[in-house]
Amino acid sequence: MNSKLTSLGLGCLLFGCSALHGAPLQVAIGESKLPYVSAENRSGVEYELITRTLQDAGIDFELQHLPNKRARLMFERAQLDVAIATEGAIVSEPYIAYKNMAITLCEQQIKLRKTADLAPYQTGAFNNANKFLGADFTRIAANLMHYREISPQKLMNGMLMAKRIDVAIADINIFQHDQREVDPQGSKALCPFAIFAPTLYRLEFRDPAIRDRFNQSLSQLRASGFYEALAKKYQLPLDRQRPYFKP
């Protein structure tokens, strides 16, 4: 009996609480949003970060691709074990940073040094941007004569190219990925302005022991060069040798 208990305890240390649950953890990740997630191809920067970290932590899991609002609701109803969050009671260290920028056509010669500088310009942004980019941006978003949120997000690229908006607010990696489809010849140079702090995403867990295993695995991946390898694999830009998506 003592031998069985010792084995069970060791299993918990090595493989997290899924050893006790007897079933894979139900983990929600976002829907397809390249270059971060491709549900169809089981790939993408964010997909690989989450799955590799869980695997290295020895955690048995099943992924569900869900809209963020639905995932949050299911987590609150205890229908999920793990969900993406920016804050929460039992959250991991940040595993990814979305680097939202104010993107313009260089030919427009727009100069942006702070959020308030957006005020005179027609600005398009991703859904719910007004909830993530700070109080100054919330004030900008309140002026519906100059501000709109655009879905699907890829429409922003075409609207910027057609000068229907002056500024597009988007994660730089997502925008540049979509830009290669909208403007494959690269006929229009883009000037992005880093006027926002990065948005840091974490995983929220039900069990702090599993969260701790995830954090340990994540720390090892950060130090191993895995983020840099992903940037190279998906041909994403670096900022002073650091991927934009590395927290």
Contact (Cβ atoms closer than 8 angstroms) between residue 62 and residue 25: yes
**Rounded CA separation 151/127 (Å):** 7
- pLDDT tens digit sequence for 11-49: 344 444 443 456 899 999 988 999 999 999 999 999 999
Find the distance separating the first CA and the last CA of the chain, reported in whole Å: 45
Q: Is the pLDDT of residue 5 over 50?
A: no
Mean of per-residue pLDDT scores for the chain = 90
Give domain limits for the chain.
Answer: 2-96+199-243, 100-193
Region 180-192: mean pLDDT is 93
Q: What's the confidence (pLDDT) of residue 22?
A: 65
Q: What's the confidence (pLDDT) of residue 8?
A: 34
Instruction: Provide the b/e sequence for 170-204 (b: ≥16 CB within 10 Å).
Output: bbbbbbbbbbeebbeeeebebbbbebbebbebbbb
Q: What's the confidence (pLDDT) of residue 4?
A: 35
Q: Is the pLDDT of residue 152 over 70?
A: yes
- pLDDT tens digit sequence for 192-227: 999 999 999 999 999 999 999 999 999 999 999 999
**Rounded CA separation 41/28 (Å):** 16
Superfamily of domain 2-96+199-243: Periplasmic binding protein-like II (3.40.190.10)
3-class secondary structure, 192: strand
Region 65-70: mean pLDDT is 89
Q: Is the pLDDT of residue 10 over 70?
A: no
Say if 2-96+199-243 and 100-193 have the same CATH topology. yes
CATH number of 100-193: 3.40.190.10
Strand order from edge to edge, sheet including 199-205 = 61-65, 25-29, 82-85, 199-205, 96-98
Region 68-72: mean pLDDT is 89
Q: What's the confidence (pLDDT) of residue 214?
A: 97
